[in-house]
Structure 1
């Protein structure tokens, strides 16, 4: 089975009020076979920067056993304190070595996910596989193409293209900044 492109999304929350809406939307995407949630963690960072981690996912029990805690291995985060963090880092390194890949990023490329989470907030770390992109990716590879870069586009950049109104972009920006404590 071909695995689609995988993306780690980190979403921040000030005083989160989860009512199941995020998980319900991920489940809807899963049922449509658009994406698959490989792993999801909720990370709570207190005022002193201490971290508490909770597994959060819409995976079935069998899938959770099969895939394990992939985010922890990917970012070197273990669930059980310092020993767990070390175990997460070791598991991530072993996975990379077993796959035959060499991914030693330069200092500019290192993404310290946990450091970016502000104190006294929560974050949802969601590792998604994009099923919809498999045929597109394969077509690109057959044409000798390759990924150079990717990223989300700001709503403000979409105004010039006519995909957002200035009012909508400003509303989204204000919401995001107010949630980000700015």
Structure 2
């Protein structure tokens, strides 16, 4: 089985309180075939250089975090301790985060069609929405100055 493009998403909760309200939207994306959640963990930033984490498939079954684990396609063990340190270094002390590894399953049929036509999916590049917005704002400022 060939995977689609993979993306790691860190969803931070400054209050440290994850209530599971995002589960419905994640379920919608998974059920629509847009993404598969193939790995994940929940992190608490307890001190500037200290995080505590639990794999999503190892959480208490009665917790809100377990709701995310229940829609995971599989757990691949793709996130290392070093990854956790890098991904959570900007989180404030006392906050929590869900670190999710998505497979972009929506692109697999397109990729397969391209391969069947003799082509290949050469690359995928993710540009964060904040970066796109900064560019659009800059373009708007330049256009305004040129008027």
Name the TM tier (shorter chain): 0.5 to 0.7
Q: Which has the higher strand share?
A: 2
Q: Judging changes above 3 Å, is the alpha-carbon distance between structure 1 residues 24 and 42 closer, same or farther for their aligned structure 2 residues?
A: same
Q: Distance in 1 between matches of 2:81 and 2:112?
A: 27
Alignment map for 1:1-182 (pairs within 5 Å): 1-56=1-56, 57-59=68-70, 64=74, 67-72=75-80, 75=83, 112-139=86-113, 142-144=118-120, 146-147=122-123, 149-154=125-130, 155-158=133-136
Offset of residue 68 of structure 1: 4.6
How many residues of Structure 1 are paired with residues of Structure 2 in the alignment?
Answer: 125
Checking the alignment, whether the CA contact within 8 Å between 1:35 and 1:131 is kept in structure 2 is yes
Q: Normalized against structure 2, the TM-score is what? A: 0.64
Query: Any gaps of 5 or more consecutive residues in structure 2?
Result: 57-67, 141-147
Q: Judging changes above 3 Å, is the alpha-carbon distance between structure 1 residues 39 and 119 closer, same or farther for their aligned structure 2 residues?
A: same
Offset of residue 45 of structure 1: 0.8
Q: Distance in 2 between matches of 1:25 and 1:158?
A: 27
Query: Any gaps of 5 or more consecutive residues in structure 1?
Result: 78-110, 163-182
Superposition CA RMSD, Å: 3.3
SS at match of 1:28: helix
